[in-house]
Structure 1
């Protein structure tokens, strides 16, 4: 399936994508449903907007390379151990390690899905997700990238950007038609909304990227003060719309806890006395 901008639903060029881009889009589609989830060929084909036979051939090739594995009974696929080992060394390991308990805690306290997102080019990329026992499966999945102008995580990632950079990062998406009534329609609307959200310290996107979904996001900074990520709560609008202030307050506390953890990384364990003699 393609968008009006000529890209497929995963953000890849629809008609001129390379083989590597198609494989990357297929691997990213495994992020929907959570870690270790199995996916059928038809489901994956729909997710990437490709023919089932084409996706099946790609999966067989990825299985031979150890990047995916197939359940012999259900014939469904999940990511393979080789890919998971590679992924363990990707991105900012310290950020992910520090964020997981923080997301778990804020998700439990709000009863909603908690996410960590970073900027990748002109997109907000979800890199970590934690669900509470009460949360519905709402909001982004790991590996999903979203436009920056109409998502809470995307706009929070723009808090430190000047007007020219905001325009450069969102120009193409602002030109694309959108079904969400609350989506900023032009650069002036986006900049006005960003000024309000910067002042209050959090971004809110309600019924923008998905009908029935509301998200709140707060920036996270490293010890140098650079904006490196955002923490985000997503859930059904019916549950979140009357709790925006409470959720934002908990997210600010979560962001502060994460920033403290980044500024004070755990020290490596000390070697036992005399252990250097045995090396």
Structure 2
């Protein structure tokens, strides 16, 4: 007979079907875990009181809560997170904009570190937030090593979603064309593709073996970012190089 902890764990894992940003009806979750609807409802109410899940007041659907997403974001590569913190601080000091570290989580870009800017007008993702890969600087930079078939598999569902007037790619061909340009110049640029007035630049970070493990990202208001894209990309390249060196020589950099 399974324990209460095992039942709760199974329920939380059932949310993975739609990713961190997906939501579910109680009946869907009950079917997924093979439990009575009333029993699942009681567990969800308990999880909601702790903030681990949230319920939409209009649709009555449940989604994972931010405390759980933030907790999960810290469960990744400890060496990468520790080495990235001073790098993000340096980026913010030099650019005055928000700096982010993102990793791939399934077909999403997940923000795992964020360093704030002192600017009164700030922008960018927050820790624990996951975003589509086709229309974000971090997401497209994470796709740099993916072949066309994998890019299609990772972005097909999101490319079908309405664009709402934003400037993100609306077809696979358009996405692949942007990726070819961005790979050639070495950085991704997403201007007003997710949010009006928001522009982001992303640079891949590679492990010593050459695998793409993360993306450094600077995000800020378009009015401040666009005139400085070349300088921002140059600073991000230098920062990515410093982070890669820290990952290659953890003892020398103080990362353990």
TM class, shorter-length: 0.7 to 0.9
Q: Does the 8 Å CA contact 1:119/1:125 hold for their aligned counterparts?
A: yes
Higher helix share: 2
Shift of 1:266: 1.8
Q: 1:51 aligns with which of 54, 57, 68?
A: 57
Q: Which runs of 5+ in 1 are unaligned?
A: 1-6, 30-47, 63-77, 270-279
Secondary structure at the residue paired with 2:250?
coil
Q: Which runs of 5+ in 2 are unaligned?
A: 1-16, 30-39
2:7 maps to: none
Does residue 97 (structure 1) correspond to residue 82 (structure 2)? The answer is yes
Shift of 1:137: 3.3
2:36 maps to: none
2:113 maps to: 128
Change (3 A) 1:79 1:174: closer
State how far apart, in whole Å, the 2-side matches of 1:184 and 1:89 are.
31
Aligned residues: 222
2:101 maps to: 116
Does residue 216 (structure 1) correspond to residue 226 (structure 2)? The answer is no
Relative to the length of structure 1, the TM-score reads 0.70
Does residue 245 (structure 1) correspond to residue 230 (structure 2)? The answer is yes
1:66-116 deviation line (CA, Å, top 9, x unaligned): xxxxxxxxxxxx959xx98x7697110000000000000001100000000
Q: Does the 8 Å CA contact 2:135/2:194 hold for their aligned counterparts?
A: yes
Secondary structure at the residue paired with 1:232?
strand
Shift of 1:218: 0.2
Secondary structure at the residue paired with 1:243?
helix
State how far apart, in whole Å, the 1-side matches of 2:86 and 2:28 are.
38
Change (3 A) 1:12 1:110: same
Structural mapping, 1:182-201, within 5 Å: 182-201=167-186
Change (3 A) 1:139 1:89: closer
State how far apart, in whole Å, the 2-side matches of 1:132 and 1:90 are.
25
Change (3 A) 1:114 1:188: same
Secondary structure at the residue paired with 2:199?
strand
1:194-244 deviation line (CA, Å, top 9, x unaligned): 000000000000000011100000000000000000000000001101111
Q: 2:162 aligns with which of 163, 177, 189?
A: 177
Shift of 1:131: 1.2
Does residue 12 (structure 1) correspond to residue 18 (structure 2)? The answer is no
State how far apart, in whole Å, the 1-side matches of 2:241 and 2:57 are.
46
State how far apart, in whole Å, the 2-side matches of 1:171 and 1:187 are.
8
Secondary structure at the residue paired with 2:145?
coil
Change (3 A) 1:165 1:100: same
Q: 1:226 aligns with which of 211, 229, 242?
A: 211
